[in-house]
Chains A and B, each alone.
Chain A
Amino acid sequence: METETIQCLLKPKEYGSDQEVKWCPGCGDYAVLNAVKKTLSELNIPKEKATFISGIGCSSRFPYYMDCYGFHTIHGRAAGVATGTKIANPDLSVWMVSGDGDSLAIGGNHFIHAVRRNVDINLLLFNNEIYGLTKGQYSPTSEKGKVTKSSPHGTVEEPFNPGELALGSNSRFFARVPDTDVKMMVEVFKQAEQHKGFSVVEILQNCVIFNDKIHATLTAKETKADNQLFLKHGEPMLFGAENTKGIRLNGLELEVVTIGENGITEADILVHDAENENKTLQYMLTQMKLLEFPVAMGVIRNVKATTYDEALHNQRKHEMENSKFNSLDDLFLSGNTFKVK
């Protein structure tokens, strides 16, 4: 575990704005807001450097509640705006705040391209598997058969798994956290911020009004030890109340085993390698579903790669240093010109 001897210049609450927070009482968003404030405080990110850019949806109100720079944009398009902001000023700590509808339905195209490009942005992807702001229609992450206002007979479509989609788009950083665990959120958000590139953090968020307890089996006190696998790089994939259950690779499949049963020892348990370039195992981890498996939490993939903004600025710098022109005047007067006297 990390040793917490952080000198915080600003307290978490000092990152909050004076605006009244208008999420429904009991909404999971509150915990995320607190975790983000704590993250900025612990990383000592100056308020003016943190820039929150959101799309449309309940979670996208987030920027208003931070006393930082913020831009509440339009539905699905936060990735584009955030990309422009980061390119224009790479010194900023850019956070994109979005939901399952915003990023995976209307903004799906932008999501996969932002991931592919690896712009240095942290995406907080609030996944409550429902449209909250428009009052309860199914989303692209709603489970098949889900009954909602727009699907009274149950949906007939397969959902996206954000982890699969991210890794399929060559995500260099993917993590998953429950909104019920502020400590885990802070730990993961910090890693997301420190990772250079597009960091996707899927937050399993509870919408108390339209999709209450959708993640409850996962997050309830009594069941969470058995149903969540909190992954840490370099540590064995152990879980359960006694920490005796683990994940083993059997042939090409993952399986749950218990230490001490059938001759299983800790040596049989997979050790998490978030930094492995090869994403095969990480991909399998994103796919683990209840009830056969625990759901993988924490940082599933975290690999280093050149970021888009870095590459763009390096190229630009190279051009600036090696140009035959010193100014636009040189360009305007170059090549085929002719004089009239």
Chain B
Amino acid sequence: MKTELQKVVIKFAGDSGDGMQLAGTLFTDTTASIGNQIATFPDYPSEIRAPQGTVAGVSGFQVHFGTSGVHSIGDAPDVLIAMNPAALNANLVNLKPECTVIIDSDSFSKKSLEKAGFEGDPLEDGTLAEYKIIEAPITSLTKTSIADLGLDNKSMVRCKNMFALGMIFWLFNEPLEQTIEFFNQKFGKKPLIAQANITVLKTGHNFAETIEAFKTSFIVPPAKKVAGVYRNITGNEATAWGLMAAAKKANRDLFLGTYPITPATDILHELTKHKWSGVKIFQAEDEIAGVCSAIGASFAGDLAITTTSGPGMALKTEAIGLAIMAELPLVIVNVQRGGPSTGLPTKTEQSDLSQALFGRNGDSPAVVISASTPATCFDWAFEACRIAIEHMTPVILLTESYIANGAEPWKVKLLDELEEICPNTCNNVEEWAPYKRNAETLARKWVTPGTPGYEHRIGGLEKEDVTGNVSYMPLNHEKMIQIRDEKVARVANSIPLQRVKGKNANKLLVVGWGGQFGVIFGAVNELQQERNNIAFTHFNYINPLPKNTGEIFEGFERIVVCELNNGQFANYLQAQFPQFKFERYNKMQGLPFKIKELKEQFNEILEAGDA
């Protein structure tokens, strides 16, 4: 018997050595190639070497897949694979009734239960009464199935993630071929290891088919997607690729000056693999040298990037001010995490918005944009570069841990499909002055050292209008502040208008920004099936805002801004549009929104009005 489902959330959880990330990734790859919608999120332990078998050491991988309606990683799993008691305990708070829990019964010894923080045995004391529990002796069956291969105990046990994966493949009627192919390729030189993994995978598959515990298996039909070539991509990878693509389209070399910081480091890891495409990588001695090297490279004509997270952003502040004064293109990618201070390095938050907008000395406007989902990080990284180069300004791109580490299918964009980026160069020395501007954008020209006849000096001291000479004149300073402000404001002329989902609604406008797009969209989308008085608008351009922003707010009785911080975007909107009242729905738990909680909140507002 096969039951059809529209969407499913699976969570693979185990000790950090149990290979849950690999199992999750392999499942995702197969599911993606079947053509399902997908969103994934790896949930690493916060401590690098947390003790084995403890809740702190649990590593998880959540995958949400379906035919339609997959906009986020999903609130809670429908199927949980718990390779040990700690993995079970770590996920208990987030289980919904009826959830299928597959456990490795071999791992439920008294000692490991204690280690995982259970007082009794959850299998017996009723803790798990609400769930469908499938007990499978995963470790022992893994070992038995490959006992004759002559591997040591450790190598045998290491294959147990494939047992679990085999069961899941059976449960959802997905083929094993791609995974088998993966092992044959990856362990071509160690055929025994490949054979062991493949055997265990098949054993798990057969086990699931044989036992009676699963009453049915499921089929999740492929999604209707735009034709094209797709690949699964994380937000950080997509960011790196978007930056590389922008450099090609601007015909400049890409320069990355950076310092490792969680959760932004994967952008460095990715870019450094691609020196073949001309990328220049400078891993600096600190965050400040990272951004400064990027400014120096920009001065010399490269498309210059620095990547960081909140604490690093704080250190780069003064240098970003320099780039604003020197009016050089610069892209600062801030992959946000929980703050303040060191905060929650591995958890997601959207709390660096005010810092991006206001965190510098003086009146120092920078363009601020944000990415929505893992795959669209590609587009927003590209857009950040376009604005920086064409408008001669630093651009801060805000992504966040949730989408940076999360993954989804990306419809591959080839270079021909992307627009050209046109650097604001100067070919006529007669018309040249360092701070002479393009009449429309107010961008100055980008002329780089080595160009004869254009020798000039820039720096952090106030500039005289047009000549760029140092000037302390009172009226000039005021004028320059206004010009810098206006220059950033005019970026609004080159960006699309803000759009609304649910145009005819007038009751509630839900406002989101950045990487929480998927969840908020999902929640509103579900409510819109039942109601016609809720609408949604999502901001990627934050400074400047799209030109029609004010018009959008008109005509709604209530506006609620949803964000993972204490109301920073709401405050920003309130200051710009005092005529509207912006209500807040804030979450500050280091976790993304859940569709359920958003729907409850929106329903409450909608029903308050109905009463």
Q: Are B450 and A312 in contact (CB under 8 A)?
A: no
With contact pairs A19-B469, A77-B288, A340-B35 given, residues A69 and B277 touching in the complex (Cβ less than 8 Å): no
Q: Are B282 and A84 in contact (CB under 8 A)?
A: yes
Chain B 284-303: CB-based contact to A (< 8 A → 1; otherwise 0): 11101111111111111110
A316 to B555, CA, bound (A): 56
A316 to B284, CA, bound (A): 17
User: Which residue in chain B gives the minimum CB-CB distance to A49?
Assistant: B450
With contact pairs A19-B469, A80-B288, A88-B301 given, residues A48 and B455 touching in the complex (Cβ less than 8 Å): yes
A319 to B412, CA, bound (A): 24
A153 interface residue (CB < 8 Å to B): no
* Chain B facing A: main interface SS: mixed
A79 to B288, CA, bound (A): 11
Q: Which of B230, B282, B294, B452 interacts with A46 by CB under 8 Å?
A: B452
Q: Are A337 and B412 in contact (CB under 8 A)?
A: yes
Measured between beta carbons, the chain B residues less than 8 angstroms from A82 are: 296
List which A101-137 residues lie within 8 A (CB) of chain B. 109-110, 113
Q: Are B225 and A340 in contact (CB under 8 A)?
A: yes
Q: Are A113 and B448 in contact (CB under 8 A)?
A: no
Measured between beta carbons, the chain A residues less than 8 angstroms from B277 are: 320, 323, 325, 327-328, 331
With contact pairs A74-B322, A87-B255, A340-B228 given, residues A69 and B292 touching in the complex (Cβ less than 8 Å): no
A69 to B456, CA, bound (A): 5
Q: Are B35 and A338 in contact (CB under 8 A)?
A: yes
A341 interface residue (CB < 8 Å to B): yes
Q: Which of A48, A53, A74 interacts with B452 by CB under 8 Å?
A: A48
User: Which residue in chain A gives the minimum CB-CB distance to B226?
Assistant: A340
A34 interface residue (CB < 8 Å to B): no
Quote the shortest CB–CB distance from B252 to chain A (angstroms): 9
With contact pairs A84-B293, A328-B248 given, residues A67 and B455 touching in the complex (Cβ less than 8 Å): yes
With contact pairs A92-B449, A315-B275 given, residues A17 and B280 touching in the complex (Cβ less than 8 Å): no
A46 to B200, CA, bound (A): 69
B65 interface residue (CB < 8 Å to A): no
* Chain A facing B: main interface SS: mixed
Measured between beta carbons, the chain B residues less than 8 angstroms from A84 are: 255, 257, 282, 292-300, 302, 304
List which A15-68 residues lie within 8 A (CB) of chain B. 17, 19, 46-49, 51, 53, 56, 63-64, 66-68
Chain A 323-341: CB-based contact to B (< 8 A → 1; otherwise 0): 1010111011101111111
B460 interface residue (CB < 8 Å to A): yes
Q: Are A92 and B414 in contact (CB under 8 A)?
A: no
B274 interface residue (CB < 8 Å to A): yes
A77 to B245, CA, bound (A): 30
Q: Are A74 and B299 in contact (CB under 8 A)?
A: no
Measured between beta carbons, the chain B residues less than 8 angstroms from A338 are: 32-33, 35, 229-231
Measured between beta carbons, the chain A residues less than 8 angstroms from B294 are: 84
A109 to B225, CA, bound (A): 52
Q: Are B278 and A48 in contact (CB under 8 A)?
A: no
Q: Which of A56, A68, A319 interacts with B275 by CB under 8 Å?
A: A319
Measured between beta carbons, the chain B residues less than 8 angstroms from A322 are: 276
Measured between beta carbons, the chain B residues less than 8 angstroms from A315 are: 275
A176 interface residue (CB < 8 Å to B): no
A73 interface residue (CB < 8 Å to B): yes
B39 interface residue (CB < 8 Å to A): no
Q: Which of B229, B257, B291, B326 interacts with A71 by CB under 8 Å?
A: B326
User: Which residue in chain A gives the minimum CB-CB distance to B448?
Assistant: A89
User: Which residue in chain B gives the minimum CB-CB distance to A68?
Assistant: B455
With contact pairs A72-B457, A88-B301 given, residues A325 and B255 touching in the complex (Cβ less than 8 Å): no
Pairs A-B, 7 closest by C-beta atoms: A84-B296, A72-B459, A80-B292, A323-B276, A84-B293, A88-B300, A70-B457
23 sample A-B contacts, Cβ–Cβ < 8 Å, listed by A number: A48-B455, A69-B450, A70-B457, A70-B458, A71-B326, A71-B459, A73-B295, A73-B459, A80-B257, A80-B296, A82-B296, A83-B293, A84-B296, A84-B299, A87-B255, A88-B298, A91-B450, A110-B285, A312-B281, A316-B280, A320-B275, A323-B277, A329-B414
Interface, chain A (partner B; CB < 8 A): 17, 19, 46-49, 51, 53, 56, 63-64, 66-74, 77, 79-89, 91-92, 109-110, 113, 312, 315-316, 319-320, 322-323, 325, 327-329, 331-333, 335-341
